[in-house]
Homo-oligomer: A and B are copies of this chain.
Amino acid sequence: MSQNREVIVRELPKGALEPAHFEMREAPVPRPGDGEVRIRNILMSIDAANRAWMQGATYREAVKAGDVMHTYAIAEVVESRDPSLEPGQIVAVESRWADQVVVKARRAVRLPDVRPLSHLLSVYGIAGKTAYHGLVNVGRPKAGETVVVSAAAGSVGLFVGQIARALGCRAVGIAGGEDKCRWVVEHLGFDACVDHRGGNLFADLRQACPDGIDVYFDNVGGSVLETALFQMNLHGRVVCCGAVSQYDAQGPSGPRNLPGMVVVKRLRMEGFIVMDFADRDEAALADLHRWVDEGRLVVVEDIVEGLENAPAALIGLLAGENRGKRMVRVAPDP
């Protein structure tokens, strides 16, 4: 391949993200310098966090207009100018939306031999580990407690509810649309799932959580968080994982019952990112592998084919169209 394809951010979005904010272009295949490797993307992770990166510096460098869009990806080394890596090796890397990318060799992490590779982006990747660490190490539910998770059909949410069940908790999802909610209960085994588009979130959630909420795993923020806060039990815990309802909003609005509910109910609200618990990844992966082998965790993946479809894949994710971990396949598993 002498030409490389790249998707650049033409313009940073002010409101909703649209296809016109991106542009695909051809560019020469990049050449690695000393200490660098050229990689070929296989699977690119599509995450709500990608949108947050466009709003400025978060826990990482911001995406700027003119950048090739940033992404976390699984890739194959095709050319190495560093003794630590050689062609054919499979790595996880902070990559870009392109066929091929040059990265620093020391930033590429060699991956274990797990097939399909997509599982390294879902249950054994950031999604599964985020669900695990957020629920187990931040939320710390006890058996018999009620765990609620929003974006329950999303890449992280679907594992949160299933892990809650594996820990002996009542698992209640919140998702958009009746079909999705039915699927969360029937396919993923949640005890209940409430449609936040049904117009009756407060009453429906109350009915699904007759003993109140002990742990709320929040992926959305905004009015869904506000509703859940009213139904938390004393000393409840709110795991703050994301705020997808806010990333695309023009005027973000905070829950009106904050900090009131935190004071009155003595809640703990705590944010985290998966890297904060890297020292506990080994234990997490052991549990996740065991639960998959025992059939207690259903792995759902939503793979969009083709680099050219990456913008639509991200925009659709923000609209909530995915079920399970969304990724874009740029090349087949080697």
Contacts and interface: CB of A to CB of B under 8 A. Distances in A.
Contacts of A59: 264, 266
A63 interface: no
Contacts of A246: 260
A271 B265 contact: yes
A66 B120 CA distance: 64
A267 interface: yes
A240 B263 contact: yes
A255 interface: yes
A306 interface: no
Given A254-B257, A260-B221, A268 B269 contact: yes
Contact of A273 (B251, B253, B266): B266
A265 B240 CA distance: 11
Interface string A231-271: 00000001011110010000111111111111111111111
Contact of A258 (B241, B254, B264): B254
A49 to B, nearest CB: 9
Contact of A269 (B218, B225, B226, B262): B262
A202 interface: no
A2 interface: no
24 contacts: A58-B264, A218-B259, A226-B254, A240-B263, A243-B259, A243-B260, A246-B260, A251-B256, A252-B257, A252-B260, A253-B254, A254-B254, A254-B259, A255-B259, A258-B258, A259-B271, A262-B269, A262-B270, A262-B271, A266-B270, A266-B272, A266-B273, A268-B268, A268-B270
Contact of A221 (B58, B241, B259, B273): B259
A52 B276 CA distance: 37
Contacts of A263: 240-243, 271, 273
A238 B238 CA distance: 14
Interface of A: 52, 58-59, 218, 221, 225-226, 238, 240-243, 246, 251-273, 276
Contacts of A226: 254
Contacts of A240: 259, 262-263
A129 to B, nearest CB: 15
Nearest to A222: B259
A91 to B, nearest CB: 26
Nearest to A229: B254
Contact of A267 (B258, B265, B270): B270
Nearest to A60: B264
Contacts of A254: 226, 253-259
A228 to B, nearest CB: 11
A240 to B, nearest CB: 4
A255 B243 CA distance: 14
Nearest to A264: B58
A138 to B, nearest CB: 9
